[in-house]
Structure 1
Amino acid sequence: MMYGKSSSAVVAALVLSGCQSPEAERVTPPSLAYQPLEKHYVEPGCQRENCSEVKVSSLGFPDAPALSDELQRRLLALAMDMTDTAAVPPQEWDDYAEAFFARADEDSDMLPQFMASEAQMETSVYAQHDGLLVLELTSYVYHAGQAHGLPSTAFMVIDERQSRAVSLDDMLLDGQESAFQQALLQAHRRWMAEMGYDDQYVINWPLSESRNVAPLEDSWVVKFNVYEIAPYAVGQPELFIPLEELEGVAKPRYLGQ
């Protein structure tokens, strides 16, 4: 009797094992560990009531220092003066603050009546799913004398399984760049309709190609900076492409499959 019960148990275990779905067998990869990184710089020797500042609120990856360096590089480049195309982005927070304060000092001497210059850089988790960590990098830079500061945004998509950042080219199937741009065009038309814009608007603010893409669980979002496809007052438009429109365009890995 004991032998019969053991045989039945073994058979049952084998049957149950064979009936498990691929989803049940799929092993969820461990999430990439990250921790907050904070920096705050104040213009040295400033005696004014309002002094120029540089603030950083970002993330670091203790187990992936190369990713930490890549994130820092991207965030510093995002906060560069867009009017100075010849400038080389600094590689360290301290170097950025030093260069920023040097210009702020010149601006305050010429334009003492204006607000103090400021630069803010921030990283936040935009989405995390299917072994993907999507970060949103933002910066806001204001120089004394400007009508307003300049906000900028960029996504950084990290494959947690490989501990590396991936680009749009990595996410698209070979030869599907034009198909992606067509899907983006449809998303832009939907956005135009939602905003109530007419054809004249498109003439004044045409859609430009963008590689600033974040894969979400139900769609891809493509985000534009101010002045790219809309006036400053509109902010930073987000266009959404449903996953079904990306079938055969993007790799299944980035469609939650």
Structure 2
Amino acid sequence: MSGWKISVFPITALLLSGCQSAETDMSNTSPLVYQPLEKQYVSPECQGEHCSTVQISALTFPDAPTLTDELQTRLLTLAMGITDGAETPAQDWDSYAQDFFVRADEDRDVLPQFMASDAQLEASIYAQHDDLLVLELTSYVYHAGQAHGLPSTVFMVIDERQQSVVSLNDMLISGQQEAFQEALAQAHKRWMAELDYDDQYAKSWPLGENHNAAPLEDSWVIKYNVYEIAPYAVGQPELTIPLEALQGVAKPRYLGP
């Protein structure tokens, strides 16, 4: 991509080994190797100080290229923001940056030159236990002229034993989806009580289904994005479900050590 300023920083291989419970011997589990990947793109058409940028802080898995591709696809999909579902994500980081700068340059034609667009895509370790690796994928996309940027988050749960991505339905016992929604509703009530929100608030911002779950050692975290169950100013609400409430609902594999 000629003319682009791109920085790829050195990466160091790290080993992830699952914390193993006393009840289960998973000594044969191969450690999942990952490498941090850093990229920065600057609009090639910008010659001034206020240039549009795209920053990538991702992860790659040298021994599991399918996971690398899946992470990239999920981050690029997340960066699309709120869509009608008809659009498809960019094929790779370079393509995303190219498309982003096309719109950024169009915005600069009608907006003051000191305004610049910015996109930040990041993958980080959220939790790691019992051979489960929970990644937090985040994006923040701001287009010049908007009142504010759009933050988005999605969890990516990896079973290190199988080196595969796990969905919410994979973690739940068959037929327990309704019971999970009830546990989520109780978590929502606790969250509202903590913030002193009343029933009128719940009517204005009703609880919706959410498959964005992170299984931790002592609880599950269900994270919502802005505008889903709260106004932008509230941020991205996190609802916590204790493991006791998931007994008989979630598979034992995902209920801590």
Q: TM-score under structure 1 normalisation?
A: 0.88
Distance 2:84 2:206 in 1: 24
In 1: Cα distance, 2:136 partner to 2:214 partner: 9
Which residues in structure 2 correspond to 1:157-168 (within 5 Å)? 157-168=157-168
Give the CA deviation at 1:85: 4.4
d(CA) in 2 for partners of 1:106 and 1:99?
11
Superposed displacement of residue 91, structure 1: 1.5
- Structure 1 pair 25/40, CA: closer, same or farther in 2 (3 Å)? closer
Deviations 1:116-148 (A, max 9, x none): 001000000000000000000000000011000
**C-alpha separation between the residues in 2 aligned to 1:247 and 1:84?**
36
The alignment of Structure 1 onto Structure 2 pairs a total of residues equal to 236
Distance 1:53 1:253, change over 3 A: same
Shift of 1:88: 1.6
Shift of 1:164: 0.4
For residue 117 of structure 2, what is the amino acid of its counterpart? S
Give me the whole-angstrom Cα distance separating, in 2, the residues matched to 1:113 and 1:204.
39
Aligned to 2:141: 141
Q: 1:192 to 1:50 in 2, by over 3 A?
A: same
What is aligned with 1:247? 247
User: 2:145 & 2:134 partners in 1: Cα distance?
Assistant: 35
Which protein has the bigger helix share? 1
What letter matches 1:27 in structure 2? M
Q: Percent identity?
A: 70
Structure 1 residue aligned with 2:76: 76
Per-residue CA deviation, residues 62-86 of structure 1 (Å, 9 max, x unaligned), is 1101100000000000001425643
What CA deviation, in whole Å up to 9, does each residue of 1:94-128 have, x standing for no partner? 00000000000000101125620010000000000
Residue of structure 1 equivalent to 2:26: 27
Q: Is the 8 A contact 2:50 2:114 kept in 1?
A: no
Q: Flag the structure with larger Rg.
A: 1
C-alpha RMSD over aligned residues = 1.5
Q: Secondary structure at the match of 1:107?
A: helix
Q: Is the 8 A contact 1:157 1:165 kept in 2?
A: yes
Equivalent residues in 2 for 1:4-153, closer than 5 Å: 23=22, 26-28=25-27, 29-83=29-83, 85-112=85-112, 115-153=115-153
What CA distance in whole angstroms lies between the structure 1 residues aligned with 2:161 and 2:26?
11
- Which residue of 1 is the match for residue 178 of structure 2? 178
Q: Distance in 1 between matches of 2:118 and 2:201?
A: 33
Name the stretch that deviates more: 130-139 or 76-85. Answer: 76-85
Residue segments in structure 2 that go unaligned for 5+ positions in a row: 1-20
Aligned to 2:220: 220
Deviations, residues 2-54 of structure 1 (Å, cap 9, x unaligned): xxxxxxxxxxxxxxxxxxxx937723434311110111100002123200000
> What is the DSSP-based 3-state SS (H/G/I as helix, E as strand, rest coil) of the residue aligned with 1:34?
strand
- Does the Cα contact within 8 Å between 1:114 and 1:144 map onto a contact in 2? no
